Amino acid sequence: MDSREIERDGVRLHGLWRPGEGVPIVIVPGVMADARAFVPVADAMGRTAPVLILDRRGRAPSGPLGEGYAVSTEVADLRAWLDELGTPADLVGWSYGATIAIEVAALDDRVRRVIGYEPVLGPFGADALPALRAADPDARVEIINRDVSGFSAEHVAALRAGPAWAQLRRLAEPLAAELVALNAFEPDPAWQRVPVALILGEQNRGHHPYGPAFDRVAARLPRSTTTLLPDQGHLAHVDDPVALGTMIGTLLDDQS
């Protein structure tokens, strides 16, 4: 995919772009992920439409979060990308990125459809904030995986031994500020009018922390539908990007 860039209020924003025909699909990753992590998902969607995968601010080569960072910052960034595209668009979001996508869909009639994999609403991970602020890069990765996401020590040990650890250290840098923003966020009342296609990993149904966080989102979206992705947890884009991308493609077809 090609690089594509815009600037908003002096901050560089980067994405990966694949041209095509039809309504563009904008993919919004959450925390601990960048645009490259979602390329296999985009490939598996089986769409000929243009695809833009965002490197949200805090993820190089995009710029830093900046002073006064909040969910509204991300909303303004995504709307700036819609300005750049100059056309209605479909939004696909994962985790915190799905929360951002839903908020934009509630506020901007250029959003045609929105699909969200396990969006989250606070209270979420706030207890870990003091430790995250005091932690070094390695400890941040451990805290988000163990204390916030609830993964096992074995899972973290496998990550540390693998090639992705250096990138995870970089992705964890903005994490504390992102958690503060998420926990301070109050969705716009227009969420009630947004027909979101939600996806929940089967392994997280009813299980802390992502199951309850998902339920808080679904309760705000009376026009939403929920589809279970079998045998998957929160990291479906890593564990089975083909299954996730295929389901997203199917949901886009169903909403046509």
Give the model's pLDDT for residue 216.
97
**Model confidence at 86: pLDDT above 80:** yes
Give the mean pLDDT of the chain. Answer: 97
Percent of the chain topping pLDDT 70: 100
Tell me if 101 sits within 8 A of 93, measured CB to CB: yes
Confidence band of 55 (pLDDT split at 50, 70, 90): very high
**Model confidence at 129: pLDDT above 90:** yes
Percent of the chain topping pLDDT 90: 96
CA dihedral 86, 87, 90, 96 (to 10 degrees): 20
Q: Which amino acid is at 152?
A: S
Q: Which amino acid is at 7?
A: E
Q: pTM to 2 decimals?
A: 0.97
**Model confidence at 212: pLDDT above 90:** yes
Q: Enumerate domains of the chain plus CATH numbers.
A: 2-121+185-254 (3.40.50.1820), 125-181 (no CATH)
Give the model's pLDDT for residue 254.
81
Give the model's pLDDT for residue 97.
99
Segment 159-193, tens digit of pLDDT: 999 988 999 999 999 999 999 999 999 999 999 99
Segment 13-43, tens digit of pLDDT: 999 999 999 999 999 999 999 999 999 999 9
**Model confidence at 256: pLDDT above 80:** no
**Model confidence at 95: pLDDT above 80:** yes
Give the model's pLDDT for residue 255.
74
